[in-house]
Amino acid sequence: MVNISNYHCTLKKHFRGYMEIIGFSNETFYSNALQIMKIRGIPISDVIQFQEVDVDERPERYKNTNLAEINYILDELDKLKDSSFSGSVGIITPFTNQQKLLSNYIHESPDWKYFEQKFNLKIMTFDSCQGDEKDIIYYSMVEKEDEDILKYIFPVDLSKIAEEGDGTLKSQRLNVGLSRAKESIRFVISKEPDTFKGSIGNALRYFRSQLIKPDDFDIYSKMDSKSPMEPQLYNYLIQTEFYKKNEDKLEIIPQFDIGRYIKQLDPYAVIPNYRTDFLIIYYGQSKAQIVILEYDGFEYHFQDTDYINEFNYEQFYVESDVERRKILESYGYPFIRCNKFIMRDTPIDYLNDQLSRHFNVTSVSDSIYEDVQETYIKIENGEEKVCSRCGQIKPLEAFYDGNLKSKYGRVCSDCKGNKRSSNAGGTVNSPAKKKQQSQKTIKDDDIKCPTCGFKMVIREGLYGKFYGCPKYPRCRATRRYK
């Protein structure tokens, strides 16, 4: 991630553009912290386009302009008009001279008023496009073969922007300018993407790579049209770190007819014609592994929905759904179940952890790492200690013992069973008072999670009350309720 203070962010939901459009900024400037919500329902070839134009060998009349790219964009505007396109259109270029020349040519067009009214057309530079989003954005990059003029506009090396003049400003141009499109991003260039240098060259090659890899539009088209969460679940899935690192090893099949498939393998199998939201196959080093991924919507998976919450939802699955899961698991098909209670506000982290766990690939989310790191810092600072008897991490006060010279021992007061008063200078309380204090300790003392060190919460399960980690489902540690 580029170290620019303006770009520091926490996890956000991004609704404006498709993942293929916002992906470069998300990876380069936000360390994949954006949760991209918009579902692509059109082919990738409609979302990202490159057009290389033939340029005149004669020099341009004005510095930093490219007339061939201007003429191509004018033809594109005419095609949009002829096709009755009704969305918004923007044109972005790195150079002010190209912006002015574009404006002059478009204003001279007999269809200028149409473009302005129907397309809400705006012609911008990378410096002036902040806050303007359009359905279609055309990029006139200007630079020709054997030229290297974009290095004055964009960073040469994003990892060394502090050493480059106006490095932060150049990075901001790149981030803002390439994230303005909502539906389609169209590059008009005068040379091959591979010949562009610096960070803008890397950006162009990133967008071209999205065109080269297999298009998952076919996957979207096979999903259940009555289930709006299926495309959203898939959208979360392909944003996980696990997917990005193992994309070439994964096969994802939507609406898999698993009941019929099992019958083909075992003609004597007595199983209904079940379908799954997704069947995920991971081709690891040894053998293929399989898991079923499903989203549990309220309408089909739960009963008595007025009483469901994050702690008891497992008790309200409809009987047929529980039976279906047990049957499929008995044939060796494990499940990853998803619903709003499990995923909460971090669906990408949840899916990443689940996929890593099911396919035995080690992956620790940043948030869990930060939680553990915070606990270690508290131990280093002397705010917390590890009990040598029970092994739990507890606040320093839990180790107070007035009889000791240091006042704090290695065994916590709960394990000693005779908590001493911190006010009596080493005197032991009476048995009645000790019992009273012990009961208060059990009620008020912070019960720490033995895995991540956070204060546990009281929850209700099938067998009564228990202490659970507040980081569930990331951390599944429990303790018996006292």
pLDDT at 472: 66
CA dist 164 and 67 (Å) reads 31
Assess whether pLDDT exceeds 60 at residue 435. no
pLDDT at 422: 38
* Bridge partners (DSSP) listed for residue 283: 288
* Bridge partners (DSSP) listed for residue 276: 256
pLDDT band at 11; cut points 50, 70, 90: very low
- Sequence-distant (6+) residues with CB within 8 A of 268 are none
> Token pair 């260039």 is at which residue?
189
Query: In the chain, what is the straight-line distance between the N-terminal and C-terminal CA atoms, in Å?
Result: 46
CA dist 420 and 431 (Å) reads 11
**Beta-carbon count within 10 A of 238 CB:** 17
Give the whole-number percent of the chain exceeding pLDDT 70: 83
Instruction: Yes or no: say if 20 and 197 are a contact pair by the CB < 8 Å rule.
Output: no
CA dist 98 and 373 (Å) reads 51
Query: For residues 322 and 366, which has the higher predicted lDDT (pLDDT)?
Result: 322
Top mean pLDDT of 174-183, 298-307, 399-408, 456-465 is at 174-183
Instruction: Yes or no: say if 177 and 130 are a contact pair by the CB < 8 Å rule.
Output: no
pLDDT at 121: 97
Count of CA atoms in the C-beta half-sphere (13 A) of 398? 25
Assess whether pLDDT exceeds 80 at residue 16. yes
* Residues 307, 303, 466: CA angle, nearest 5 degrees: 50
Residue type, 117: Q
Q: What is the CA radius of gyration of the chain?
A: 30
Question: Looking at the domain that runs over 219-363, which CATH code has it been given?
Answer: 3.40.1350
Assess whether pLDDT exceeds 50 at residue 338. yes
How many distinct helices (H) and strands (E) make up the chain?
Answer: 18, 16
42: tokens are: 């059109």
Rounded average pLDDT over 391-417: 81
- CATH 3.40.1350 residue ranges for the chain: 219-363
pLDDT at 379: 60
- CATH 3.40.50.300 residue ranges for the chain: 5-215
Assess whether pLDDT exceeds 60 at residue 420. no
pTM, rounded to two decimals: 0.58
Assess whether pLDDT exceeds 60 at residue 370. no
pLDDT at 269: 81
pLDDT at 380: 54
pLDDT band at 3; cut points 50, 70, 90: very low
Instruction: Yes or no: say if 158 and 4 are a contact pair by the CB < 8 Å rule.
Output: no
pLDDT at 462: 58
Residue type, 293: L
Instruction: Yes or no: say if 350 and 342 are a contact pair by the CB < 8 Å rule.
Output: yes
Give Cα separations from 390 to 242, 397, 400 (angstroms): 35, 16, 16
Rounded average pLDDT over 349-367: 74
Span 147-175, pLDDT tens digits: 999 999 999 998 888 888 888 899 999 99
CA dist 322 and 313 (Å) reads 13
CA dist 228 and 277 (Å) reads 12
pLDDT band at 200; cut points 50, 70, 90: very high
Give the whole-number percent of the chain exceeding pLDDT 90: 41
Domain 5-215 has CATH 3.90.1150.10: no
Chain-wide mean pLDDT for the chain? 82
* Bridge partners (DSSP) listed for residue 70: none
Span 209-248, pLDDT tens digits: 998 887 777 788 889 888 888 999 999 999 999 999 998 8
CA dist 420 and 35 (Å) reads 51
CA dist 146 and 157 (Å) reads 20
Nearest to 231 by CA among 245, 242, 217: 217
Rounded average pLDDT over 314-318: 81
CA dist 469 and 476 (Å) reads 6
Rounded average pLDDT over 39-57: 90
pLDDT at 322: 85
Assess whether pLDDT exceeds 80 at residue 388. no
Assess whether pLDDT exceeds 60 at residue 285. yes
pLDDT at 51: 96
Assess whether pLDDT exceeds 70 at residue 364. no
pLDDT at 355: 93
Three-state DSSP class for residue 234: helix
Instruction: Yes or no: say if 113 and 82 are a contact pair by the CB < 8 Å rule.
Output: no
Rounded average pLDDT over 99-106: 97
Query: For residues 383 and 53, which has the higher predicted lDDT (pLDDT)?
Result: 53
pLDDT at 305: 67
Nearest to 119 by CA among 151, 152, 91: 91
Assess whether pLDDT exceeds 70 at residue 391. no
Q: DSSP states of 34-75 as a string?
A: EEE-PPP-S-HHHHEEEEEPPPPSSPPSSTT--HHHHHHHHH
Q: E strands of 12-109, at which residues?
A: 12-14, 34-36, 48-52, 89-93
pLDDT at 297: 81
Instruction: Yes or no: say if 145 and 194 are a contact pair by the CB < 8 Å rule.
Output: no
Span 106-140, pLDDT tens digits: 999 999 999 999 999 999 999 999 889 999 999 99
